[in-house]
Structure 1
Amino acid sequence: MKAFFIGLQFLTRLKIVNQTEWDIHDFGKSVIYFPFVGLVIGAFMAALYWLLADYLPIQLLALLLVIFEFLFTGGLHADGFMDTCDGLFSGRDRERKLEIMKDSRVGSNGVVGFVFLTLLKWQLVANVDPKFLWELLLFLPIISRYSLVLSIRLFQYARPEGMGKAFAVYSPKSTLAWATLFATLPVLYFRWDYAVFLGIGILINFILNSYISKHLGGVTGDTYGFVIESSEVLLILAAIAMGFTVL
């Protein structure tokens, strides 16, 4: 359980057990439980929706859901998304792109990317069929955090060191197998709805990480966040394309 609580504290603002000392091996083991961390995030998102759905118009509720997710995760993935936008779309050579991504300052590409990300998430969530929305809010974070496991275990790290490197080096060899098992468990309840979106999420992960690896020579901690945020937007878009829409 210690590894799970470390993962929960790292990926969210929720601190059930306050971990003040981070053992690098426990840090690596926490990767196994990322789909469960996604479940916790999704449960809070779905609960917020059910609590407010009868009282707020969908446009306002959708905006609150997007804001809540950013706050609940501490903006961790959004920060990686912005840094990746700054470097990946800078038009510079590979080494310069990686240097730009390490810069703590946010550039114009990052700002524009974040604005588009927020607006897209807001409007896409607002246009999902309310009968299906609670399910989507619940299992999207599970799929996107499982996608993080795929990024860590299946793609080469671009830097010689970094926090993301610790995940790749110290996560057990059985990490992918266990995380895949945990990530597929919701199929028992959601059945084909979840299975289809899980498959789409895996495909999106491979496309995005292959593109990133081609231009950066591998993945980084920042690109992990970029893939999570981009995956969620694309999965909501897929839901609308598949007919789960109010239009």
Structure 2
Amino acid sequence: MQAFLIGLQFLTRICVVKQTVWTEEDFGKSVRFFPLIGAVLGCIYSVVAMMLLWFLPSFGIFIPHHLTHVLFVAMPIILTGGIHCDGFMDTVDGIFSGRDRERMLEIMKDSCTGAFGVVAFVLLMMFQYGAVSDVPMEDLPVALFVMPIISRMMMVFTITVYPYARKEGMGKAFSEYTNKKTLGVVFLYGLALVLPWGANALIAVLVSLLFTMCFCNYVTKKIGGVTGDVYGAVCTLCELLVMIAFTCKIPF
């Protein structure tokens, strides 16, 4: 339970019990709860969506759809404190800098965000808004529920399968206390949470998994592994892919 609360406090702005002392073991073991933490976020996103799209309109209260879509895009940033977005921007700055391995790692560790990262993040948000806008209204609560679960399943996949590129770092604890058994358990209960929601959810899992493998293979060739920033990039990009998957109409 402590590991779950530590993971919840680290990955989100939800603080049930304030944890001030984190051991490396507790921090690392929180990985097994990442999709469950995603489910907590997904419940919040889904409830907000149902209130804005169905509950309030039943009382004659209509929020402009552009504003609701902006809120749906902003919620993951607000509730996570932008931690994954920061990782995404740092990854883009480093990996696409065209420098050698050591310099890439230095750039990714730099607290300042470069032009590549800013431009990439703006484009990411534009694509995310477009995807949210194109998801059928009746499917949005489901899409918003499974989105953080699937994206965090892919984080666990990245942590387990790919080596950590640095000798030390915050993400190294995740890597050291995660194994294939953890990955199996995570995918087992993650899929149990996701697959009942239909064909779009299955497609979202498969597309996200394929992308994660291709992206992490590319990054590993560049820097010899992955980092905590790459974990965040995988999470953020898979959230976009999940929303895109729900824009598709499946005839079964």
Distance in 2 separating the partners of 1:181 and 1:69: 24
Displacement of 1:124 after TM fit? 1.2
Q: Does the residue aligned with 2:246 lie in a helix, a strand or coil?
A: helix
The total of aligned residue pairs comes to: 243
Residue aligning to 1:153: 160
What amino acid maps onto 2:181 in structure 1? S
8 Å contact 1:31–1:167 — kept in the other structure?
A: yes
Amino acid at match of 2:95: L
The residue type paired with residue 194 of structure 1 is A
TM-score (norm 1): 0.94
Gaps of 5+ in 2: none
Instruction: Report the Cα distance in structure 1 between the residues aligned to 2:66 and 2:222, rounded to whole angstroms.
Output: 37
**Map of 1:200 onto structure 2:** 207
Q: Is the 8 A contact 1:143 1:198 kept in 2?
A: yes
Q: Which amino acid aligns with 2:200?
A: D
CA distance in 1, matches of 2:229, 2:128: 20
Name stretches of at least 5 consecutive residues in structure 1 with no aligned partner: none
**Aligned Cα RMSD in Å?**
1.5
Residue in 2 aligned with 1:64? Answer: 71
Indicate the residue corresponding to 2:249 in structure 1: 243
Partner of 2:14: 14
Match of 2:43 in 1: 43
Q: Determine the C-alpha separation between the residues in 1 that align with 2:96 and 2:195.
A: 40
Percent identity of equivalent pairs: 44
Which of these residues, 210, 215, 238, is aligned with residue 217 of structure 2?
210
1:181 aligns with 2:178: no
In 2: Cα distance, 1:123 partner to 1:194 partner:
19
> Are 1:88 and 2:95 counterparts?
yes
Q: With the length of structure 2 as denominator, give the TM-score of the two structures.
A: 0.92
Relative to 1, partners in 2 of residues 1:192 and 1:18: Cα closer, same or farther, differing over 3 Å? same
The answer as to whether partners of 1:85 and 1:110 remain within 8 angstroms in 2 is yes
The structural deviation recorded for 1:70 is 0.2
Q: Is residue 128 of structure 2 the alignment partner of residue 117 of structure 1?
A: no
The farther-off stretch of 85-94 and 192-201 is 192-201
